Amino acid sequence: MHGTQIAALTAGHPAGLTDAFHLVAGVDAALTRGLARVGDEDAAALAGLAGAVATTPLANLVAEAVDKIIAGSGAQEYVAALAGARSAVLGAVHDALLGQLDVALGRSRTPWVPIPAAVPGEVSPALAAARAWLSEVAVAGWRGVDHELVAGAGSVVEAALAVPELRRLAVLLDGLAAELRACVPVAMMSQVPQRRWADLWSRGVLLAQDTAAGDAALSVTERVSGRLLPLAVDVHEHDTAVQFQVHALLEPADGGSTRLVRTAVGAAKVDSIVGPALWRLLPAQPVLLAALAQRRGVLVADVPIRGADMPWRDDRARLDEPVDPFAAARVLLPDALAAAPHPVDRHPAGIAEPVLLEGYAVSGQEGRLTVELDGHRLAVTVDRLPSCGPLTPELVAASSACLGLLRWDAGRWLLQPMAVQATVKRKIVAVHTGDWACGVTDAKVAKAEAKAGDAVTVLRERAGRLLRR
């Protein structure tokens, strides 16, 4: 990324962005107070949302739903239309922001290729339960969430978790429910994280529709072979889930242009498994873990891909030569072909675009860092440095090159570091979030880990003994 590209990215907001967020804020306030209590202000906000989608195919559906909700109905179909309209507005915001990013970076992006929606099969009780709970929450409002309503999520999550196709929904609801549980009674909270919870709630409602059960993202039409050059890994986690999402360049074996792709592996976990132990939850992916820890390329053969997303197939992957991710990004990233996300995933919070920045200066205090390149500044988020890797805010502050993700949060573009080249004791070192994928390589941290004991083994041993008695 050059200074001029930072300038283009941060020069201004896409047209209509402020209005769109204003609209969403009104809806979120209504969801905070609850659909059982739609006052004049909330009614105006909901009507505004209906107005915003009035020229889209959602128009009639949303207009009717808003009328009914204002009149006091909390029926699931109306609540779903509300979630759909809110998601559509934020989808448009996503598209505008990603368009701005592509123009600034000169990044080419293939459009999403729709495939016919799967015909809903038999009615899923797990989905029905999720829809019922999400509607109940919307009617009560975040302010009305109590112990009983939160406890109701337990069986919903359990049922969804038992169906592999519903993993996304299960993981989302479990994360949301845990936050609500920690905050009840929400009525006593001074400030409700209403945008965040409404985001999670809306996505939950979309994923809980019967048409989503066939999860179009899982249906794959394309297969590829070639050389995968991992750039860096982004780690996501809440109390009961962890995901390692590897951003990589794919050189197709058939000689096509280099593609910017992602592959993700994840595991269920419990809250007491944190830090480097998270890697130990992935024993079935030795090739991916070795590629990250040893910074090696990977040869993949006939693997499925949809847009930029490659479901990981360790059995179809083979370790290749060592690759310096910084060198690979320098040469191949500027012209790599990106891909648009699945339509449901279009949300500003989902924007995570790999970039390479070199030769910058870092300024600011720990926690509020800024990189400056040719006089142009970009804010850095160190909140997303994972607990399982060696990358620290101090290393970011001492860095001069960074492989990171461009994200958009709280009204501005941010750089999320995933790997840096930093000066430590007058030497340049490269530090990546994935360095400890096959075990901690820092003696001090390894010693502390050993002292704490092996959480994964302890709990698996208990589970083995108690769950099969």
Partner 1 sequence: MVRVVAPAQPRKLVKVPFVELADGRLQGVVSSGSDAARVYVSSITASTHAYHCSTNNNRPCGGLRGAPCKHLETLANEAVLQYGFDRVARYLRVEPDVAVNTGAALLHSLDARHEPSSAAVVFSRFLRHLSYLEVPGSTTSLPELHWFPSTRTAR
CB of 158 to partner 1, least distance (A): 8
Task: Decide: is 455 part of the binding site for partner 1 (CB under 8 A).
Answer: yes
Tally the C-alpha atoms within 13 A of residue 395's C-alpha that lie toward its C-beta.
20
Judged by CB under 8 A, does residue 338 bind partner 1?
no
**387 lies in the site for partner 1, by CB under 8 A:** yes
State the sign of the Cα–Cα–Cα–Cα dihedral 453, 456, 458, 459: positive
Chain centroid to Cα 156, Å, comes to 22
Applying CB under 8 A, among 225, 243, 370, 421 the residue interacting with partner 1 is 243
Do you find a cis peptide bond into 185, omega within 30 degrees of 0? Answer: yes
For partner 1, how many residues bind (rule: CB under 8 A)? 89
Residue from 7, 59, 264, 293 binding partner 1 (CB under 8 A): 264
What's phi and psi for 6, nearest 5 deg?
Answer: -60, -45
Residues of span 302-331 touching partner 1 by CB under 8 A: 309, 311-314
The answer to the question of residue 430 lying near partner 1 (CB under 8 A) is: no
Judging by DSSP bridges, how do beta strands 427-432 and 108-110 pair with one another? unpaired
Smallest separation (angstroms) from partner 1 to the CB of 13: 18
Closest CA to 94 of 346, 342, 344: 346
Among 87, 135, 285, 399, binds partner 1 (CB under 8 A): 285
271 binds partner 1 (CB under 8 A): yes
Joined tokens for residue 136: 């109940």
308, 310, 287: which is closest to 297 by C-alpha? 287
Least Å distance, CB 435 to partner 1, is 14
Nearest to 36 by CA among 69, 85, 81: 69
Q: Confirm or reject binding of residue 402 to partner 1 (CB under 8 A).
A: no
Cβ-Cβ contacts under 8 Å for 154 (sequence gap 6 or more)? 177
* Binding segment (CB under 8 A) for partner 1, from list 10-18, 83-91, 223-231, 272-280: 272-280
Cα separation, 172 vs 400, whole angstroms: 36
Site for partner 1 in 141-180 (CB under 8 A): 147, 151, 154, 158, 161, 164, 167-168, 171-172, 175, 178-179
Closer residue to partner 1, CB minimum distance, 146 or 374: 146
Q: Can residue 284 be called a binding residue for partner 1 (CB under 8 A)?
A: yes
Element (H, E) at 228: strand 222-238
Please report where in the chains the tokens 């041993």 appear, as a residue. Answer: 461
Among positions 182-221, residues that touch partner 1 (CB under 8 A) are 182-183, 193, 196, 199-200, 203, 207, 217-218
Indicate whether 400 belongs to the interface with partner 1 (CB under 8 A): no
361 lines the binding site for partner 1 (CB under 8 A): no
Tell me which stretch binds partner 1 (CB under 8 A): 4-12, 70-78, 125-133, 238-246.
238-246
Phi, psi of 218 (to 5 degrees): -85, -20
Are residues 89 and 70 in contact, defined by beta-carbon separation less than 8 angstroms? no
